[in-house]
A and B are shown apart, each in its own frame.
Chain A
Amino acid sequence: DTEVTQTPKHLVMGMTNKKSLKCEQHMGHRAMYWYKQKAKKPPELMFVYSYEKLSINESVPSRFSPECPNSSLLNLHLHALQPEDSALYLCASSQDPVENYGYTFGSGTRLTVV
């Protein structure tokens, strides 16, 4: 299995809702990442998990809460989002955060906040 699977593919949520994005990989990768991408812009790093521990938080607002239950799963919990948070959320993984051979990206969750 050489894929990163993200669910759901599309999500529409209200500003008072709580929802979660899920990401799964079975490649034995020990680093996992969340990126946010606005239309016609490059991906922007949000969080890095290294060996299931949060190693980088790029000053992301607390309404985004990451979780890494085990080495194969990565969640992003969403609460009280704003319309400007609407974007494509991309999960990625790599073998190791130090020895980088390239990232494998999922196809993303397109989030719309209404």
Chain B
Amino acid sequence: SQQGEEDPQALSIQEGENATMNCSYKTSINNLQWYRQNSGRGLVHLILIRSNEREKHSGRLRVTLDTSKKSSSLLITASRAADTASYFCATDALPNAGGTSYGKLTFGQGTILTVHP
């Protein structure tokens, strides 16, 4: 089952504008990650934020995490046409009592971002 819910499902903006995508999840997490997927291709890891972190930056990317609300957001600043892709959040859950959930990265439904030149 997919525990992450993302909104919006689709986002269309002009080059140079900022894009914000949100992700909500249900269970306690070890970390939350964001990935990009160009049409029909593999996923590319963008950024990882741990449960004890609140904000992280990487280039034009800014990620926030609010564990009390079980939500995260990804901000892409000064967007470019090349940023057009699907963006997924993925949660790395805390291990269960038996420790058998290690490595169980669960993806949200994704946001399709279109950046118009």
Q: Which of A's residues lie within 8 Å of B, judged by CB?
A: 4, 6, 31, 33, 41-45, 48, 50, 55-56, 88, 90, 92, 94, 97-98, 100-108, 110
Contacts and interface: CB of A to CB of B under 8 A. Distances in A.
A94 B103 contact: yes
Interface of B: 2, 4, 30-31, 33, 35, 40-45, 48, 88, 92, 95, 100-110
B4 to A, nearest CB: 8
Contact of A45 (B41, B45, B104, B109): B104
A33 B45 contact: no
28 contacts: A6-B42, A31-B103, A33-B103, A41-B109, A42-B4, A42-B88, A42-B107, A42-B109, A43-B43, A43-B88, A44-B2, A45-B106, A56-B100, A56-B101, A88-B40, A97-B102, A98-B95, A98-B103, A100-B48, A100-B103, A100-B105, A101-B48, A102-B48, A103-B33, A103-B35, A103-B43, A106-B42, A107-B42
Contact of B103 (A41, A44, A50, A110): A50
A94 B109 CA distance: 22
Interface centre among A88, A97, A103 (most CB of B within 10 A): A103
A45 B105 contact: yes
